[in-house]
Amino acid sequence: MKNKILLISGLFMLLSIVLISCKKEKTPLGSPDVLTGGWEEVPQSAYSRRLSFSLGGKFSMQMRDQSNQYWISEVIGKYSISGDQLMVNISSSLEKSSTGKIIRNTPTNYVLFENAKFNIDNRVLTVNYTTYPADAPVPTVAKFNQLIPID
């Protein structure tokens, strides 16, 4: 009887250890993460950018001239996050007419926001990344306000 109780106790302990040691995925596939939604760049020049992070790791960035009501170009790809690191891989580039109609869809392959780290504070997304304006790496910062969806 005593051996039976020790065996059952041992099995419960082993089961508890196995259950505790199993890691859960932080963001299950198809679940929103902190970036999910729309973000519009705080205007700094004549051009602005709008980012869209969607379920399943889908990403798009639209760009426009402030004097034009239509988004003149768009890049599409996939994104992933790990802690405060952001990785965006672009796979397609769309060129649009002044009325917003797609003129050209070009397959492409590049990393957007190289070496990117991000943080969100008061609905402002800050992305710190590296650019190469004269073939030398330059730390760059972009800020985007969160777009609040209207139901």
Domain assignment present for 3: no
Range of the domain at 40: 30-147
Domain assignment present for 11: no
The full DSSP string for 87-151 is: EEEEEEEEEE-TTS-EEEEEEEEEEEEEEEEEEEETTEEEEEEEE-TTSS-EEEEEEEEEEPPP-
Domain assignment present for 71: yes
Assign residue 64 the CATH number of its domain.
2.40.128.490
Q: How many domains does the chain have?
A: 1
Q: What is the pLDDT along the chain (151 residues), one digit of tens a residue?
A: 555 554 454 444 544 443 344 444 344 445 678 999 999 998 767 778 999 999 999 999 998 876 666 667 889 999 999 999 999 999 999 888 777 777 888 999 999 999 999 999 999 999 999 998 888 899 999 999 999 876 5
> What amino acid is encoded at 13 in this protein?
M
Domain assignment present for 6: no
Q: How distant, in Å, are the alpha carbons of 67, 78, 90 from that of 107?
A: 28, 14, 9
Domain assignment present for 124: yes
